[in-house]
Structure 1
Amino acid sequence: MNSLADTAAGLASVRQDALSLFQAGITAADPYQAVKRHLAPELFNGYSKVHLIAFGKAACAMAQAAAEIVPAGMLAGKGIAVTNYDNVTDVDNVDVFGASHPLPDTAGLNGAKLIAERVLNAQQHELVLVLVSGGGSALIPYPADQITLQEKIAATDLLLASGATINQINCVRKHLSRLKGGGLARMAAPAHLHALILSDVLGDDLSAIASGPTVADDTTYADAIDILKAKDIWQQIPANVRKHLEQGQSGAIAETPKPGDSIFNHTEHTLIGSNSISVNAMLQSARKLDYAAELYSGHLCGEAGEEAEKLVLHAKALTINKPTALLAGGETTVTLKGDGRGGRNQEIALAFAIAAEKYNLTDNWVFLSGGTDGRDGPTDAAGGIVDRHTIKRMTEAGISPIERLKNNDSYHALKASGDLLNTGATGTNVADLQILLIQPAP
């Protein structure tokens, strides 16, 4: 790869490389192909019927692949798939329902009830085939008896705004739900259950993916209460939610199924895709483009703004004498302090551009951070893609980057500079990907 001069054309080429690498990561998490690779026809031997259940952002693609593999005549009625509205597509022999993400809605509740009804009717010697992908926690809300959907939404909203990690959010969700935290597996017994799981959780903890509806839960009601108190939102949580958690802590309500519970004797899981698989695909693609490619982090987490500054300082300390790619996968957090619009990927992109200006990162660089599902927070963007001229473009548009960052308004800042990453819904979800490409300064 020839050294690129600091020209608009040269920078455009590097930006295109970043987009290409991001697409390679998404392709590696293609849910249809992942199911095709892992679902063998012999799995169905010995069962009289197969109940096909799918939920998450990749539900339609996964269900389509499974419906093509399940032997003809074995499906126990039409399958059920619940996905976010953007990813709704027709699937043969499957009833598809759209629902809201990241905050749940009534459509998701209705889908969850249909899933519960189907699974509760499964009999011994029948197979419940569950296809799980990221987003499942919000897409199939089924609150515990004394909690309304609106109360659960309010609790989820507070958690999302508090800077809680995905594991902390899922711990609370499990203890407000009938399906999560092994609840679906409990409903399926005595039928056999096999789950194919596309992971959007770093480290691929199966109990955290979609809040682990088919997996034993080692967290407790007490853990959920501790999280809400540590985030200083316990008193803001609806009273019925607090009452439910306190009753669970006292033993008046049964705990979620724990490791060793007999209901898991006939439950199996197969991990078919993950963030690490996508990061590795990006590494290989970067090397094919003649970048010196390195893994910066396989578990990028922490506050988005702080992580952006750390990455800038890391890049600043490198000796760049050839095109270099620093790649990462993860899921940062944002503690909301303003009332702007954006998501964690847009925030880390804006913060990176500000920090690069602050620390005088002079090489030609492009930084991309995007959600593999194509949706970053409550916006229509997947994330952001910034370069060494981003701050200049913002200021020329009358935007104060620092003030926008303080107000958590990364969306409008990046929109003004033409640096939003827009992919549309991708049909998959394996957390976030980060790409920093650096060309030696001429």
Structure 2
Amino acid sequence: MVHRAAERRAHCLELLKAGIAAADPATAVTKHLLNRAGRFCLGLNADNSQTRSGDWHRIRVIAFGKAACVMAEATRSTIPSDLLTVPGLIVTTYENARPIEGFEVLAAGHPLPDENGLRAAEIMASSVQRAQKNELVLALISGGGSALLPCPVDGLCLADKITTTQLLLNSGASIHQLNCVRKHLSRLKGGGLAKLSAPADLHAMILSDVLDDDLSVIASGPTVADDTTFAEAIEILQTRQLWNQTPVRVREHLEQGKRGLRDETLKSDAALLHHVSHTLIGSNALSVAAAMKAAQTLGYEAELYHSSLCGEAREVASQLAVNCKQRYHAGLQQPVALIAGGETTVTVTGQGKGGRNQEMTLAFALAMEKLGLKQHWTFLSAGTDGRDGPTDAAGGLVDGQTLTHMRAAGIAPEAALADNDAYTALKASNDLVITGATSTNVADLQILLLHPITE
């Protein structure tokens, strides 16, 4: 039984590895940088059947997000050196930052912005504004870009944005809600970067970390039109009962915007969008497909549980546990791998440490115990970027022995969950998933392996 448990845990990690590999940003970038008939051009769709080229005298490469270093490095071997403006500019997280030849690399805070991010955003804005007609700004965008480039509008300071962001994160706001508010507090988000790049051409290569691949949401849509409004941003804060806690200057700015006294975000009828294009180069769906293929190779019947798993982590875990009980009640005949991609949320009420993936795995283990299913399952939930919340773990990997190990270590798992302290509990049971920074980010993967009770 111990051998089987170890093997099943290894299988979960192998499927996670396959999913992360499918989101390799270097491969994704180079695939869409083309040389056709001696002319440099950009692939605009998955098979490069649509392309874009121009009379570009110079190409200015900027990259921001968790995969920025890898994405930027990939351009050096593909774009003709006589076209590249040197140095290019990279803004990424502290754990992903490293020297890249031909680029200035700036590290900044995530998920909460910091002073280094503010300076990086100012440098980025200045760099883009220097671009001229007949130049191309090539923006390489990946998850985390929104927090990494805080560029408050006039009248706001970084502390205002940090406080507002933290309030929304702790309230369990969705990424769409969070970004709607942030766009209306920023010079770069919500198409702001596209505004600054004019009159140059702009092309963005985007590695998606959101489930519906909405380009206006990824990194808060710095290069695309935004249909949200100041009024919606206010409504989000009010609906989540955060309005009175929001900094006064933020409230005043949003109210002025609602009255038409502040510039709205870039809208879809803006003429400058004729100079802007995009390529979606990677997504959570591709990683889910790769994990499913790897599961089949290992002999599992692979099944897509959900392509956009969302909601409160504990509730999602309970629903998944009920689904398992139904499957076992119907009679499970062969090993099954249930694969999901998603991004759950956590409403923080406790004082503990953890992230949405860790909380989901701890909640799942407790739910399975409550349903009387103590064996024959193994569950992993992890972020493809290698970081779950403000911790060094990507997520958790639990099985029927997890709660036993926790209690033997003096941890009450129910109390840990109530205190949002999944990290401490999973560390005690040796069930944290530690991958280190992966240099990519396409949201989360959930992998549940079920085996027949007769095994």
TM class by shorter chain equals: over 0.9
Structure 1 residue 109 and structure 2 residue 109: aligned? no
Deviation of 1:179 after TM superposition, in Å, equals 0.1
Structure 1 residue 219 and structure 2 residue 231: aligned? no
The equivalent position to 1:29 in structure 2, one of 23, 37, 44, is 23
- One-letter amino acid of the structure 1 residue matched with residue 360 of structure 2: I
Structure 1 residue 284 and structure 2 residue 293: aligned? yes
Structure 1 residue 396 and structure 2 residue 396: aligned? no
SS at match of 2:194: helix
Alignment of 1:420-435 (within 5 A): 420-435=432-447
Structure 1 residue 15 and structure 2 residue 9: aligned? yes
Deviation of 1:8 after TM superposition, in Å, equals 1.0
Q: Which residue of 2 aligns with 1:84?
A: 93
Deviation of 1:67 after TM superposition, in Å, equals 2.0
Give the conservation status (yes or no) of the 8 Å contact 1:363–1:438: no
Partners of 2:215 and 2:54 lie apart in 1 by 25
- One-letter amino acid of the structure 2 residue matched with residue 211 of structure 1: S
Structure 1 residue 93 and structure 2 residue 102: aligned? yes
Partners of 1:70 and 1:224 lie apart in 2 by 40
Alignment of 1:110-259 (within 5 A): 110-259=119-268
Partners of 1:292 and 1:435 lie apart in 2 by 13
Partners of 1:360 and 1:37 lie apart in 2 by 49
Give the conservation status (yes or no) of the 8 Å contact 2:136–2:202: yes
User: Higher mean Cα deviation, 71-80 or 246-255?
Assistant: 71-80
Partners of 2:374 and 2:405 lie apart in 1 by 17
The equivalent position to 2:55 in structure 1, one of 46, 55, 67, is 46
Please identify runs of 4+ aligned residues in structure 1 that moved more than 3 A. Answer: none
Q: Which residue of 1 aligns with 2:381?
A: 369
Partners of 1:397 and 1:118 lie apart in 2 by 53
Partners of 1:145 and 1:306 lie apart in 2 by 41
Q: Deviations over 1:201-245 (max 9, x none)?
A: 011000000000000000001100000011111111111111111
Q: Deviations over 1:264-298 (max 9, x none)?
A: 11100000000000000001000000100100000
Give the conservation status (yes or no) of the 8 Å contact 2:152–2:158: yes
Q: Deviations over 1:54-78 (max 9, x none)?
A: 0000000000001221111211231
Partners of 1:36 and 1:129 lie apart in 2 by 13
Q: Which residue of 2 aligns with 1:411?
A: 423
- One-letter amino acid of the structure 2 residue matched with residue 338 of structure 1: G
Partners of 1:298 and 1:145 lie apart in 2 by 40
Deviation of 1:361 after TM superposition, in Å, equals 1.8
Give the conservation status (yes or no) of the 8 Å contact 2:375–2:399: no
Partners of 2:85 and 2:406 lie apart in 1 by 56
| Unaligned residue ranges in structure 2 (runs of 5+) | 42-52
Structure 1 residue 340 and structure 2 residue 364: aligned? no
Superposition CA RMSD, Å: 0.9
Partners of 1:146 and 1:373 lie apart in 2 by 34
Give the conservation status (yes or no) of the 8 Å contact 2:99–2:105: yes
Give the conservation status (yes or no) of the 8 Å contact 1:301–1:330: yes
| Unaligned residue ranges in structure 1 (runs of 5+) | 1-6
User: Higher mean Cα deviation, 346-355 or 310-319?
Assistant: 310-319
| Length-normalised TM-score, structure 1 | 0.98
- One-letter amino acid of the structure 2 residue matched with residue 8 of structure 1: V
Structure 1 residue 308 and structure 2 residue 317: aligned? yes
Partners of 1:272 and 1:158 lie apart in 2 by 32
Deviation of 1:362 after TM superposition, in Å, equals 4.5
Partners of 1:70 and 1:149 lie apart in 2 by 36
Deviation of 1:151 after TM superposition, in Å, equals 1.2
SS at match of 1:164: coil
Partners of 1:272 and 1:79 lie apart in 2 by 20
Q: Which residue of 1 aligns with 2:48?
A: none
SS at match of 1:69: coil
* Aligned residue pairs, count: 436
Partners of 2:54 and 2:144 lie apart in 1 by 31
Partners of 2:153 and 2:34 lie apart in 1 by 36
Partners of 2:27 and 2:98 lie apart in 1 by 17
- One-letter amino acid of the structure 2 residue matched with residue 357 of structure 1: E
Give the conservation status (yes or no) of the 8 Å contact 2:142–2:218: yes
| Length-normalised TM-score, structure 2 | 0.95
Structure 1 residue 351 and structure 2 residue 369: aligned? no
Deviation of 1:309 after TM superposition, in Å, equals 0.5
Q: Deviations over 1:389-430 (max 9, x none)?
A: 111111111111111101111010101111011110000000
SS at match of 2:83: coil
SS at match of 1:317: helix
SS at match of 1:223: helix
Deviation of 1:363 after TM superposition, in Å, equals 4.4
Give the conservation status (yes or no) of the 8 Å contact 1:362–1:441: no
Identity of counterpart residues, as a percentage? 56
